[in-house]
Amino acid sequence: MRSEASLHRPPRRPWAWLWVFAASQGLVVAVWWAIGWRWGLPLLLASHLAVVWGTLRPGSRLFSPVLSRLPGGARTVWLTIDDGPSADTGAILDLLDAHGAKATFFLVGARALARPDAVREIVRRGHGIGNHSFDHPSAWFWALPPAAMRAQVDRAQAALATTAGAPPRWFRAVVGMANPFVGPALARHGLTRVAWSARGFDAVEPDPDRVLARIERQLRPGAIVLLHEGARHGRNPETLARVLQRLDALDYRAVLPDEPDVRA
C-alpha cells in the first residue's frame, strides 16, 4: 500500500539546478574559447533552451520533483479541481457527493479569503485542498523572480491555513509552468508539486463532450485528472457531471492519494 507520505516529496535540494547551470555555462565558455563560436553558440543555446523547457513543461522534474500520476494498477484516479473557490463550488461538491467521489481543490489564496465558507465546506465534506498561488497571475507566473514567487506561495499558504484550518501539502503551478524559483518556495512549506496526466482544457472549452473525449483518451489507472471551476463559460459543473458519469461507467473510483485504494 502506498501512503500519502511516500507520495509527498517536497524539494530537498531546491538550488541544485543553479550549480548545474553554472557548470554548464563554464563548459560553454571553455568550448567557445578552445574551439570557437560554431560549437560554443549551439551549446549556449541548448543550455538556455533546457531552462525554458523545464519551466514550460508541466511534468518537468528539472527544477523540482513533481507528481504526474498515482502509482499502481488499481482503477483509481485523482480528481484535481483548480482555480476556486468560486460560485461553482457548491454545485461541484454536490456532484462529488452524489457519485461518492473525492477530489483535491487547488485553491487561489485571494479567492479563498473572499469565500472562506466555501473552503470550510470543501474540508467538511472530506475533500483535499492544495495551494494554487495567491492571485493566479496566469500570464506571468512562469517568469516570476524569486521574491515574487515566494510571496505567491507564502501568501496563499497563509490564506489557506486560515480558511481551511490547516496548511495544504500539495501545490500546483499556475498553468502548470514552474520556473527554477518554485522549488525553493515550496521547500519552505514542505509542499509537493502536482501536475497531471489527463486534461480536457475545460477552463476554455465550453463543450462538456469535447472535454470528456480528451480526458477519456488519456485515462489510465492512477491518472491525475485536471479540471477547473469558475470558468467564464459557466459549464464546469456540467463537465464534471459528464466526467463522473463516465468514470462510473468505466468502473473507476475517484480517490485522494492517502486512501487505501491507492496501491503500489
Q: Please state, in angstroms and as integers, the Cα–Cα distance from residue 9 to each residue in 123, 158, 189, 191, 216, following that order.
A: 22, 20, 12, 8, 28
Let me know if 246 is exposed, middle or buried by CB neighbors in 10 A (0-12, 13-18, 19+): middle
Q: Write down the catalytic residue from 82, 83, 88, 202.
A: 82
Separation CA 249–CA 44 (nearest Å): 51
Q: Cβ–Cβ contacts within 10 Å for residue 7, how many?
A: 18
Give yes or no: 228 in active site: yes
C-alpha cell at 85: 473557490
Query: Is the backbone peptide bond immediately before 85 cis, with ω within 30 degrees of 0?
Result: yes
3 state DSSP class of 150: helix
Q: Write down the catalytic residue from 127, 132, 189, 228.
A: 228
CA-based nearest residue to 136, from 69, 210, 86, 189: 86
Q: Which residues of 62-85 are buried (b: 16+ CB within 10 A; e: fewer)?
A: bbbebbbbbeeebebbbbbbbbbb
Q: Cβ–Cβ contacts within 10 Å for residue 198, how many?
A: 21
Enter the DSSP assignment of 245: H
| Residues labelled catalytic | 82, 228
